[in-house]
């Protein structure tokens, strides 16, 4: 999430943090006062349960749903699946309620053991409540899976009061960028999925061996008195007056738009305040960050 420092401080104030993880990563060093790390099977690993090998389903950006089945042996013999972890936590919470003499009817009404034993049971429940997922277990076993229904795309029908599409027009609000400043956006590299970084390279932009860079138009590089390859600190400027800094990154002269710059997500999250969000959607304004570039601070010499 945005405002890395504030996020870390908030997590540290929690009494307990729990992470379900396929691999150790830096997020495990940012925890609540007590912390649990629950190792789980990755999606590439074979998931064996009481009813046999299981598969899960995934949906892509065009509403296509297909099966995903692990093909490699698990890295450990005692790893639980995500389904098993959630189901067992639910059963443990129900047991704890009963031990205190409290009502656990809502949890007992769910057959958690069946969910863990056979994922088809979960899909049957999904089929009962999610439009387009009827006969889920048969559809998902098709070689190409299936596509969820979409009224405007499939039949030009719209779930509105008059059955017609409602279009809105919104005035474009330009972000004021003072002289000597740039408008920063955050981007992802080619070898990256969400916040998972598979390599330090970016074949899209010709970057190799590192992500600590800021892309700036060559004319802006010259106008700001900088040079390609120079190390700089990126400071964001917001009305709260807090100096948020992405330190010691390399300037890359790149044909982005004049007056604009780009840096990698999630590294540049540190520059975006928690309160800087879009109206209604509440998403961080990671495409409109006013920044200034300063030569990187030279670290103080260490005593010998």
- Encode pLDDT of 63-112 as tens digits: 999 999 999 999 998 999 999 999 999 999 999 999 999 998 998 899 99
Give the per-residue pLDDT at 304: 55
Burial string for 176-195 (b: 16+ CB within 10 Å, else e) reads ebeeebbbbbbbebeebeee
User: In the block, which residue shows the tokens 């003072």?
Assistant: 178
For residue 303, name the pLDDT band (cuts at 50, 70, 90): low
Q: Residue 163 has what DSSP assignment?
A: S
Within 10 Å of residue 41's Cβ, how many Cβ atoms? Answer: 22
Its CATH class, for the domain covering 182-295, is mainly beta
Beta-bridge mates of residue 214: 251, 263
Question: What is the distance between the alpha carbons of residues 274 and 27, in angstroms, rounded to a whole number?
Answer: 18
For residue 26, name the pLDDT band (cuts at 50, 70, 90): confident
* Structure-token pair, residue 175: 């972000």
Q: Are 255 and 218 in contact (CB under 8 A)?
A: yes
Q: Is a pLDDT exceeding 80 seen at residue 298? A: no
Compute φ and ψ for 173, nearest 5 degrees: -100, 115
Residues of the chain with CATH 2.40.40.20: 182-295
Q: Are 186 and 286 in contact (CB under 8 A)?
A: yes
User: In the block, which residue shows the tokens 């044909």?
Assistant: 255
Closest CA to 286 of 304, 271, 301: 271
Compute φ and ψ for 125, nearest 5 degrees: -70, -40
* Structure-token pair, residue 103: 């009502």
* Structure-token pair, residue 12: 């540290």
Give the per-residue pLDDT at 279: 84
Question: What is the distance between the alpha carbons of residues 15 and 256, in angstroms, rounded to a whole number?
Answer: 44
Question: What is the distance between the alpha carbons of residues 187 and 286, in angstroms, rounded to a whole number?
Answer: 9
For residue 174, name the pLDDT band (cuts at 50, 70, 90): confident
Q: Is a pLDDT exceeding 80 seen at residue 222? A: yes
Lowest-pLDDT choice from 51-60, 84-93, 290-299: 290-299
Q: Is a pLDDT exceeding 80 seen at residue 228? A: yes
Report, as an integer, the average pLDDT of 211-237.
97
Helix (H) or strand (E) holding 247: strand 244-253
- Left (φ > 0), alpha (ψ -120 to 50) or beta: where does 259 sit? left
CA 68 to chain centre: 20
Q: Are 251 and 227 in contact (CB under 8 A)?
A: yes
Q: Is a pLDDT exceeding 80 seen at residue 302? A: no
Q: Are 212 and 231 in contact (CB under 8 A)?
A: no
How do 56-59 and 213-216 pair as beta strands? Answer: unpaired
**Reported pTM:** 0.80
Closest CA to 235 of 179, 176, 296: 296
**Which residue intervals of 145-253 are DSSP H helices?**
151-154, 218-223
Give the per-residue pLDDT at 301: 55
């Amino acid at each position: 999430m945005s405002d890395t420092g504030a996020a870390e401080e908030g997590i540290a104030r929690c009494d307990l943090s729990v992470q379900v993880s396929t691999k150790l990563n830096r997020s495990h060093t940012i925890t609540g006062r007590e912390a649990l790390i629950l190792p789980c099977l990755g999606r590439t690993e074979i998931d064996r349960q009481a009813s046999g090998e299981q598969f899960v389903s995934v949906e892509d950006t065009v509403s296509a749903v297909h099966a995903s089945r692990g093909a490699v042996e698990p890295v450990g013999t005692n790893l639980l699946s995500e389904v098993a972890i959630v189901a067992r936590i639910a059963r443990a919470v129900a047991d704890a309620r009963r031990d205190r003499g409290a009502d656990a009817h809502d949890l007992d009404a769910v057959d958690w053991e069946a969910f863990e034993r056979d994922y088809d049971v979960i899909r049957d429940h999904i089929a009962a409540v999610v439009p387009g997922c009827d006969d889920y277990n048969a559809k998902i076993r098709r070689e190409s899976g299936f596509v969820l229904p979409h009224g405007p795309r499939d039949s030009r029908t719209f779930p509105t009061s008059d059955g017609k599409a409602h279009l809105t027009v919104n005035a474009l609000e330009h972000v004021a960028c003072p002289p000597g400043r740039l408008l920063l956006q955050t981007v992802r590299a080619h070898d990256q999925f969400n916040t998972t970084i598979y390599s330090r390279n970016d074949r899209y932009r010709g970057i190799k061996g590192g992500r600590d860079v800021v892309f700036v138009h060559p004319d802006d590089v010259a106008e700001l008195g900088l040079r390609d390859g120079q190390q700089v600190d990126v400071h964001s400027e917001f009305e709260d007056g807090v100096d948020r800094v992405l330190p010691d990154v390399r300037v890359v002269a790149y044909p982005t738009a004049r007056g604009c710059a780009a840096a990698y997500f999630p590294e540049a999250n540190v520059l975006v305040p928690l309160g800087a969000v879009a109206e209604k959607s509440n998403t961080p304004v990671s495409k409109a960050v006013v920044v200034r570039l300063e030569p990187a601070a030279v670290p103080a010499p260490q005593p010998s």
